[in-house]
Structure 1
Amino acid sequence: MKLFKQVPVLAMGALILVGCSQENEVKLENYVDQASYGVGLNIGESLARDAVELNVDAIAAGISDALSGAEKRIDQETLQAAFETIREEQERKQAALNDAAAQVGADFLAENGKKEGVTTLESGLQYEVITAAAEAGAKPAATDTVSVHYHGTLTDGSVFDSSVERGTPAEFPVNRVIAGWTEALQLMSVGDKWKLYIPADLAYGAQSPSPKIPANSALVFEVELLDVKQEG
């Protein structure tokens, strides 16, 4: 969702809403009141996803003026300049966050690669064998579908996704996941459990898939290969 049609705002962070003096004055006694509140909720939830500092009272004034046909309180040139300033500020903040996350990941992997039992591949992917299969099992090809259990964290240990916690294994084609997974899975045998340390460029890079994963983050996964469903 874009905050304004004129200016896309793409940064993540905390949404700061200044104002909201009408909070205790609103009555929700009939369907018109309730539907109106629902419209406000939808607008607020959409704006919250863009994570920009906004003044709630000013938003309400803009909506009120638009619905009533009142004269605009700010000319278009001033509005456009304000949108542009917000965009520039958000881009600066996001660039700083991205750079910091990239440095944290690089530092982590540099130290992690020195640990006993950690193997670093030419791509930069690192792995550690937690449990080796009792017997050499099937290794998946890129076109195969696998069943795995996994537990994903940031380098600080913060959990962002876990099939283990959900209690249900995940199934997916090997070549339809992040590059670090695609590379590692083809080296594993059914029954293996590895810990993967994935550089940002083999994970999601600058495009974060979730607020739980900052852009340019190195990721850590415990992956257990349960089964391979070979193509054909």
Structure 2
Amino acid sequence: MKQHRLAAAVALVSLVLAGCDAQTSDVELKTPAQKASYGIGLNMGKSLAQEGMEDLDSKAVAMGIDDAVSKKEQRIKDDELVEAFTALQKRAEERLTKASEEAASAGKKFLEENAKKQGVVTTASGLQYEVVKKADGPQPKASDVVTVHYEGKLIDGKVFDSSVERGSPIDLPVSGVIPGWVEGLQLMHVGEKYKLYIPAELAYGAQSPSPLIPANSVLVFDLELLAIKDPSKLEGAEPPAEAPAQ
């Protein structure tokens, strides 16, 4: 995370936190501008959380944006701000590194224990799976587009994504998702349900796609293969945003 990116993030968050001296419960979210403003704060908050930013002082942020909008004299010199941004960046990186190391260690231990369970199969790549429901349908190829229902969890059971909760299965290209899914889907028959235990290196590795998924996390998916799509009816399918894309 570069310093200018951090500064820009803080500045954007400032737009939403400018009124933090007042009770946030007094803020109305009725007009499109109010709702969009809330959305900016929500998205930036998620981004900052993903990057380990936990030291922001909302009142100081509000003071900074108020001084800028009111064209008041800058209270802190630029060189001090550079030093402060650098220190904050360093702390954020240290937190993320620690969380990543802890996730990697916990994931390794989990997979070692999970591999001993009855019904769990470990492939040459390190993917683990168990068949929850068997069926005799066809198996997809890497070039196919399939319809699936799924629920993704961390090893502590926290759900980070679920087409089941949304109540709508999704269509996706077999070759357009994370490696653990690419392999797992081609093991399945239409109509089957699998539980996939995906090592970090077959998922997102050191790159976290969401604040809900720490870097180097082992992912657990309940996956149901509903259908293989008819190629003649496809128009260049791509995995939707919520799918475990590459």
Partner-residue secondary structure (3-state), 1:205 = coil
Structure 1 match to 2:80: 78
Structure 1 match to 2:159: 159
CA contact (8 A) 1:7 1:84 kept: no
Give the drift of 1:177. 0.8
Letter paired with 1:113: A
Partner-residue secondary structure (3-state), 2:224 = strand
The normalised TM-score by structure 2 is: 0.77
Match of 1:123 among 117, 122, 125: 125
Structure 1 match to 2:241: none
Match of 1:48 among 42, 45, 49: 45
**Structure 2 gap ranges (5+):** 10-18, 233-246
Give the drift of 1:144. 0.4
Partner-residue secondary structure (3-state), 1:5 = helix
Could you give the per-residue CA deviations for residues 97-132 of structure 1, whole angstroms, max 9, x where no partner exists?
Answer: 011011111110010011111110110000111111
Give the drift of 1:195. 1.0
- Alpha-carbon separation, structure 2, partners of 1:35 and 1:131: 47
Q: Which has the larger radius of gyration?
A: 1
Partner-residue secondary structure (3-state), 2:4 = coil
- Alpha-carbon separation, structure 2, partners of 1:9 and 1:107: 39
Give the drift of 1:173. 0.5
**Structure 1 gap ranges (5+):** 11-19
- Alpha-carbon separation, structure 2, partners of 1:170 and 1:47: 27
Alignment of 1:1-232 (within 5 A): 5=4, 7=6, 22-23=21-22, 41=38, 44-45=41-42, 47-49=44-46, 50-51=48-49, 52=53, 53-133=55-135, 135=136, 137-229=137-229, 231=231
Letter paired with 1:68: S
- Alpha-carbon separation, structure 2, partners of 1:40 and 1:28: 11
Q: 1:43 to 1:75 in 2, by over 3 A?
A: farther
What stretches of structure 1 move > 6 A for 4+ residues in a row? 34-40
CA contact (8 A) 2:3 2:89 kept: no
* Mean Cα deviation higher: 110-119 or 63-72: 63-72
Q: 1:87 to 1:212 in 2, by over 3 A?
A: same
The normalised TM-score by structure 1 is: 0.81
Q: Number of paired residues?
A: 217
Q: 1:47 to 1:144 in 2, by over 3 A?
A: closer
Q: 1:195 to 1:8 in 2, by over 3 A?
A: farther
Q: 1:71 to 1:165 in 2, by over 3 A?
A: closer
Give the drift of 1:163. 1.8
Q: 1:144 to 1:193 in 2, by over 3 A?
A: same
Give the drift of 1:159. 1.3
CA contact (8 A) 1:105 1:218 kept: yes
- Alpha-carbon separation, structure 1, partners of 2:104 and 2:196: 17
Give percent identity, aligned residues only: 48
Q: 1:39 to 1:63 in 2, by over 3 A?
A: farther
- Alpha-carbon separation, structure 1, partners of 2:59 and 2:36: 16
Q: 1:196 to 1:63 in 2, by over 3 A?
A: same
Letter paired with 2:102: A
